[in-house]
Chains A and B, each alone.
Chain A
Amino acid sequence: MKSSRSLLGWALVAAAACAVPATAGAVQIDGAGATFPYPIYSKWFSEYNKIRPDVQINYQSIGSGGGIRQLSNQTVFFGASDGPMTNEQLLAAPGKILHFPMVLGGVVPIYNLPDVGADLNFSGTVLADIYLGKITKWNDPAIAKDNPGVTLPGSDITVVHRADGSGTSYIWVDYLSKVSPEFKSKVGVATAVNWPVGLGGKGNEGVAGLVKQTPGSIGYVELIYALQNKIPYGAVKNYDGNFVRASLESVSAAAAVAAGKMPPDFRVSITNAPGKDVYPISSFTWLLLYQNPKDKAKAKMMLDFMKWALSDGQKLCGDLGYAPLPANVATMVMTALNGVR
């Protein structure tokens, strides 16, 4: 007992020693924003700190909205967001803000039908109609059409969505709005929307918990969350008409295809992208930087870090469940970094 306690004591001392950077002169760069990329960002920051002990990047995952706000108020050096900034937000900022995609994420439909063994297929319009409250039963002909040979129960569909504002919801409704004009006009695209039907769960865990407990329910979570918690999820019909299950490869494929038509500011939605193997509910997550930061020394360090993250850093993505940027996109972002001065 005593020895284990003293061991714990030493562990605490060691942890405290690690927490305080050994290099007293390290430059600290502060950032804030999206929660979705937080695990990979913090991994990057700590790994990069091992290579460059003089650079310490400090990131607060306060949400995309908060990140945009803090960056616009110039209280942080960089921001991060799961949805691109709107034109109004860009105009309101005191200087020109640039978007840089860093990794990719996907959102997957999850459901709870104990008697249906097969992995269900969903077309985008079916998902939109379910979330509009127009499809209310599991044996609706529209669902049956996507799933030949599967016996669907006649039970009610309980719709579950995110209650908190989130990038996950943004990607989900962005996709539903692209495939359904009615969804676009009635609900629209934002991190929080006025849901016509359904229950709100807080966070991925809240949605997954509600779906797990409620027979007949459907919800959506981040791909990473589903992978880490081994939650089975459905396949979604892509632009080319194939049912594709989300994976790191099929999410990266969405970006690779979009590279051809990439706008110079990278503010692009890649949901419902064309391509045979593309998973349609995929999105970039962006780091936000001023084009002309005041602190040139910090800017240099930040750019060095981002170049590392876009090259060596991308190899760390897979372990954490993030889809890496396809090589052609990473090169484009790398070039664009030269625009910051």
Chain B
Amino acid sequence: MGRRARERGGFRLGTGAVALLVPLLVAGIAVVLTWDSLLSVRQFGLGFWKNSTWDPVAGVFGAFPFIWGTLYSSLLALLLSTPIALGIAVFLSDLSPRPLRQPPVFLTELLAAIPSIVYGLWGIFVLVPAVRRIETLTPAWLRRFPLFEGPPVGVGLLAAGLILSVMVVPFTASVAREVLKAVPANQREGAYALGATRWEAIRMALFYGRQGIMGAVMLGLGRALGETMAVTMVIGNTPRASLSLFAPQYTMAAVIANEFSEAADDLYLHALVEIGLVLFVITVAINTLSRLLIWRVGAERA
């Protein structure tokens, strides 16, 4: 009895210590990011996030174009990838004949395993020329809208959004498929018993699993926000916030990756770390928000 209690105590202590590592790690990251960006925080204060100039020569740093580019490209990716991912998930969980199910499951998961530099190369050699073609074919009257302004150079927000959506689809699709699989069979059977069509039964399953599906979408968003290599290879790396899908822009992760190794003076380095801090804060905020959203949806159901 004593031994068992002791073992249980030790086990609890051990796992507790391991679990404690996670909040410690997060706090540690926050502390280091703040500490290493102090110079820039002091110099630019709260104006940092809304200032649009990024001039390493003059020592003036503002994060707005990078924040804009990161959010814009990630939301575009979400907009493009979510319907496709849900379509894949529904087909694989409800509609596809059983023997045909495994190959597409395997292939979507394979997409998730491709390194992002490979996506980037594909982006440069295949996607960007294709996007340039779309841009050149866009009629002039449409090009007058702010959404499609600018010369057709191929690299830019649209290319970044497209490549991100391809990278995000496998994550969202496989989690959403798991969620749909987890919807109890009696839910669907009940729907059919009430005379529902297949479409109505699927809608019911989607509604039942909405909490998990929201989580799947947020997982995709997290991936899109932090993606660096593939994006920097196709987005054009120009720190000018623009509404236009055709305009070259920049993301937070990309500017850190591009400029960190050559940033020799302290303020410059601290400004880059502060970009990292902003990205960290935005990621935490979005995750918290989605968590709250999921809780609310969950509470409604209960």
Residues on A lying within 8 angstroms of B by beta carbon are: 62-66, 68-69, 86, 88-89, 156, 158, 163-166, 187-195, 198-202, 206, 209-210, 213-214, 217
Contact = CB atoms under 8 A, between A and B. Distances in A.
Given A158-B153, A194-B54, A194-B57, A165 B258 contact: yes
Contacts of A191: 56, 262, 264
A69 B264 contact: yes
B238 A198 contact: yes
B262 A192 contact: yes
Contact of B248 (A65, A194, A199): A199
Contact of A166 (B128, B248, B262): B262
A194 B265 contact: no
A164 B257 CA distance: 8
Interface string B238-269: 11000000001010001001110111110000
Contacts of A88: 265
Contacts of B124: 206, 209, 213
Given A193-B56, A194-B56, A209-B124, A200 B259 contact: no
A86 B265 CA distance: 10
Given A188-B57, A194-B54, A200-B248, A164 B262 contact: yes
B227 to A, nearest CB: 14
Interface residues of B, number: 32
Interface in B39-62: 53-58
A202 B232 contact: yes
Contact of B132 (A156, A201, A214): A214
5 contacts: A156-B151, A163-B254, A188-B57, A191-B264, A202-B258
Given A199-B238, A213-B128, A194 B53 contact: yes
B154 interface: yes
B258 A200 contact: yes
Name which of A158, A164, A210 has the most chain B CB atoms within 10 A of its CB. Answer: A164
A226 to B, nearest CB: 19
Q: Which 7 A-B pairs have the closest CB atoms?
A: A165-B262, A200-B237, A63-B261, A163-B237, A188-B57, A65-B264, A194-B55
B129 A213 contact: yes
Contacts of A62: 261
A63 B262 contact: yes
B155 interface: yes
A194 B61 CA distance: 10
B128 A65 contact: no
B236 interface: yes
A194 B62 CA distance: 12
A192 B153 contact: no
A209 B237 CA distance: 14
Interface of B: 53-58, 124-125, 128-129, 132, 151, 153-155, 232-233, 236-239, 248, 250, 254, 257-259, 261-265
A89 B232 CA distance: 30
A70 to B, nearest CB: 11
A213 B154 contact: yes
Contacts of B262: 63-66, 164-166, 191-192
Contacts of B58: 188, 194
B240 to A, nearest CB: 10
Pick from B132, B153, B259, B264 the residue with the most CB of A within 10 Å.
B264
Given A64-B264, A164-B262, A199 B155 contact: yes
A187 B238 contact: no
Contacts of B54: 194
Contacts of A66: 261-262
Given A165-B258, A165-B261, A192-B258, 12 more contacts: A64-B264, A65-B262, A86-B265, A88-B265, A166-B262, A190-B56, A191-B264, A192-B263, A199-B153, A200-B250, A202-B237, A210-B155
A202 B265 contact: no
A163 B129 CA distance: 20
A149 B155 CA distance: 33
A206 B263 CA distance: 20
B245 to A, nearest CB: 15
Nearest to A217: B153
Contacts of A192: 56, 258-259, 262-263
A186 to B, nearest CB: 10
A238 B259 CA distance: 31
Contacts of B239: 194
Contacts of B132: 213-214
Given A192-B56, A213-B128, A164 B261 contact: yes
A163 B261 CA distance: 12
A191 B232 CA distance: 18
Given A158-B153, A194-B55, A202 B233 contact: yes
A188 B153 CA distance: 26
Contacts of A194: 53-58, 239
B259 A164 contact: yes
B39 to A, nearest CB: 14
B140 to A, nearest CB: 15
A85 to B, nearest CB: 8
Contacts of A214: 132, 153-154
B69 to A, nearest CB: 12
Nearest to A173: B57
B149 to A, nearest CB: 14
Contacts of A86: 265
A163 B128 contact: no
B48 to A, nearest CB: 16
Contacts of B153: 158, 199, 214, 217
A193 B238 CA distance: 11
